[in-house]
């Protein structure tokens, strides 16, 4: 394995996400600068003390995560936040976080990758979030029995699957929002769909879902947001001669 420069890697990643890089107050991208020469790049869903410990142990120079550490203006570097940053800087590990621009990416988003893994066709985005289409939509070529889908998802996509089965038993039209997508269920219902796939559930939406006779698969927040990370890891491996590793640190949620 070879070496690449931090700035070349950052430019490559920024170019992938250039369409939406400025959203969320510009908090996406290189969040903490570390070593200039990169020999090993780590990938994970969440930045956390557990991830940092693994990165130090495995000699990682550059971390790519979906949930980074800067999402709001910083008023104080203390407590938990201080500990998140201190050893990162001490060990000169670069931290690159990419949140909504990854969720919204037309090729690499978690939703698109889940749709592809399910074998959906005619994949596109719909819905409106501040002028951005954010819901992934796709269709099965032929209707799928919902119990067969549950079995497939349990075995291939999420071992933390939870379901609300209020609708059709044969599924063709599917909408997907990874993570905390249940809060956008009214946007999902702008189209006639048979199944909504998201990450987390919420008591607040139970009766609304039942009223609209909508089936929902909850993959778990973590298990719904690994797939875009895998896709970016593949892109890096195609373009750089450096070592890579995905660190699987599930929350069970």
Q: Which two tokens stand for residue 114?
A: 């889940």
| CATH superfamily, domain at 110-221 | NIF3 (NGG1p interacting factor 3)-like (3.40.1390.30)
Q: Look at residue 36 in the predicted model and tell me its pLDDT.
A: 98
List pLDDT tens digits, range 85-142. 899 999 999 999 999 999 999 999 999 999 999 999 999 999 998 889 999 999 999 9
Query: From CA 76, how far away is CA 163, in angstroms rounded?
Result: 40
Residue 153 backbone zone (phi > 0: left; psi -120 to 50: alpha; other: beta) = alpha
Give residue limits of the domains in the chain.
4-99, 110-221
List pLDDT tens digits, range 157-203. 999 999 999 999 999 999 999 999 999 999 999 999 999 999 999 99
The model carries a pTM of 0.95
CATH fold, domain 4-99, is 3.40.1390
Q: Look at residue 110 in the predicted model and tell me its pLDDT.
A: 98
Two domains, one topology: 4-99 and 110-221: yes
Closest CA to 106 of 134, 129, 138, 131: 134
Q: Look at residue 172 in the predicted model and tell me its pLDDT.
A: 98
Q: Look at residue 72 in the predicted model and tell me its pLDDT.
A: 63
- The dihedrals phi and psi of 75, each to the nearest 5 degrees, come to -105, -25
């Amino acid at each position: 394995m070879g070496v690449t420069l931090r700035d070349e890697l950052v430019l490559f990643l920024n170019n992938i996400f250039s369409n939406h890089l400025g959203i969320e107050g510009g908090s996406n991208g290189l969040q903490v600068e570390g070593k200039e020469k990169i020999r090993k790049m780590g990938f994970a869903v969440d930045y956390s003390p557990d991830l940092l410990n693994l990165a130090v142990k495995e000699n990682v120079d550059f971390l790519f995560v979906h949930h980074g550490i800067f999402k709001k203006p910083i008023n104080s570097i203390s407590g938990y936040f201080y500990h998140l940053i201190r050893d990162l800087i001490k060990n000169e590990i670069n931290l690159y976080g990419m949140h909504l621009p990854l969720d919204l990416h037309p090729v690499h988003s978690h939703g698109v990758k889940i749709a592809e893994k399910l074998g959906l066709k005619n994949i596109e985005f719909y819905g409106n979030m501040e002028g951005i289409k954010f819901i992934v939509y796709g269709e099965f070529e032929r209707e799928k029995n919902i119990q067969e889908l549950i079995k497939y998802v349990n075995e291939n996509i999420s071992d933390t699957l939870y379901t609300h089965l209020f609708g059709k038993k044969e599924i063709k039209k599917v909408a997907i929002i990874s993570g905390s997508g249940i809060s956008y269920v009214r946007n999902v219902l702008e189209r006639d769909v048979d199944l909504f796939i998201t990450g987390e559930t919420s008591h607040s939406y139970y009766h609304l879902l039942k009223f609209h006779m909508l089936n929902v698969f909850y993959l778990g927040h973590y298990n719904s947001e690994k797939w875009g990370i895998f896709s970016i890891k593949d892109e890096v491996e195609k373009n750089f001669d450096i070592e890579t590793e995905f660190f699987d640190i599930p929350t069970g949620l």
